[in-house]
Amino acid sequence: MSKNNIRLMQGNEACASGALAAGVSFFGGYPITPSTEIAELLARELPKNGGHFIQMEDEIASIAAVIGASVAGAKSMTATSGPGFSLMQENLGYAYMTEVPCVVVNVQRGGPSTGLPTKVSQSDTMQAKWGTHGDYFPIVLSASSVQECFDMSVRAFNLSEKYHSPVILLLDEVLGHMREKIRIPEKDEVQLIERCKPTVPPEWFQPFELTPTHISPMAGYGNGYRFHYTGLTHDPFGFPTGKPSEIREKLDKLMLKITQNVDDICTHKEEFLEDSHIVVIAYGITARVAQQAVRIARHRRFKVGLFQPETIWPFPEKALKRALEHADLAIVAELNQGQLIHEVSRIARSKVKVQGVFRYDGEIMTPTEIVNKIREAN
């Protein structure tokens, strides 16, 4: 490695490197543009690190293998793009229900359907939240730079191990293929979280035990603990239940383990918010564009600031409320026909006007588009 661990790499490479730094030892995946480099890099690197790479026959099998590998004790991940992410949804629901830690990277491209395999988009924002059926509370991160691809890849593993839940990391075509300078941290700088394991004797063990934190220790196969996993709604022992009180308890557990910890899960970045009347809200690659737009606008003496949610689900609601306290206008910029804007509107209520800058023609937004919106609003 070069001096100071500085490297020039692609977002996809950084994401795979971050996963390796986080201790991933299983990747099950399927080639799909624009995410394939993640699989290719891990196909080469995982065996060297004692890990295992399997190219599965499709995305349904990929996520299923990832769940299996995770239950057997490995930190597991897969990477895909729109059509593959759609195929994974049923299994993702299974992972939420059975509380299996795993990381799914979705390098977004235009949709619906085959859409735009080689073009940028942020149109899976809502699918990441509502993709599978039923009530559940996903953790979804959105990276905006190659450095963040690395850092968030590590964080995605940590959150999934901590909350025993799938974590979705959203990248996009531009970020995945863009090359930037990044700093790879030393091994001892990377803080890792491991899933909590049972300490009770096997005969006392309940795989979905109700705990104050709503997180139950996970035994994993081959450790002497007997447990039952099923996608059916289950009781603390993991066996299917039809009892209303137990059904409610299970669904509350899935909700509360996330909603009670939003302060730990949610992160965001902000710039020039102290005196801003206009707040530009952008995430993913568009946050980089918005950052430039805000700097240009400030140079022209517009009182404008930037709010970038790094965790988009759960949305950093408290932080945004603070950011909008003195604002009259929120501008949401995203590469879709308007998805996260609904969440922003909900949080802003009627106190702050919310307007959107949307682009969905397969091209990345330009700072001018956002600056024009800021000028219009003034």
- The correct pick among 14, 20, 22, 32 for binding another protein (CB under 8 A) is 32
- Two structure tokens written together for 244: 């209303």
Q: Could you give the angle at which helices 367-377 and 285-299 cross, rounded to 10 degrees?
A: 50
**The dihedral sign for the CA sequence 277, 282, 283, 287:** negative
Binding of residue 12 to another protein (CB under 8 A):
no
Looking at beta carbons only, is 43 or 377 nearer to another protein?
43
Binding of residue 43 to another protein (CB under 8 A):
yes
Cα dihedral 248/254/256/261 (nearest 10): 180
Backbone angles phi, psi at 160, to 5 degrees: -70, -35
- Interacting residues with another protein between 97 and 156 (CB under 8 A): 113-114
**DSSP category for residue 150:** H
Which helix or strand (DSSP H or E) is residue 285 part of? helix 285-299
Looking at beta carbons only, is 36 or 311 nearer to another protein?
36
Binding of residue 53 to another protein (CB under 8 A):
yes
Binding of residue 187 to another protein (CB under 8 A):
no
Looking at beta carbons only, is 40 or 209 nearer to another protein?
40
| Interatomic CA distance for residues 129 and 343, integer angstroms | 11
| Interatomic CA distance for residues 92 and 75, integer angstroms | 16
- The correct pick among 9, 15, 20, 39 for binding another protein (CB under 8 A) is 39
Q: Which stretch binds another protein (CB under 8 A): 31-39, 63-71, 92-100, 208-216?
A: 31-39
- Interacting residues with another protein between 67 and 86 (CB under 8 A): 83
Q: How far is the CB of 36 from another protein (least distance, A)?
A: 5
Binding of residue 223 to another protein (CB under 8 A):
no
Binding of residue 50 to another protein (CB under 8 A):
no
- Two structure tokens written together for 100: 């299996």
Binding of residue 40 to another protein (CB under 8 A):
yes
The amino acid at residue 324 is L
Looking at beta carbons only, is 84 or 367 nearer to another protein?
84
| Interatomic CA distance for residues 172 and 158, integer angstroms | 22
Which helix or strand (DSSP H or E) is residue 154 part of? helix 146-163
Q: Which residues bind another protein (CB under 8 A)?
A: 30-33, 36, 39-40, 43-44, 47-48, 53, 55, 57-59, 83, 113-114
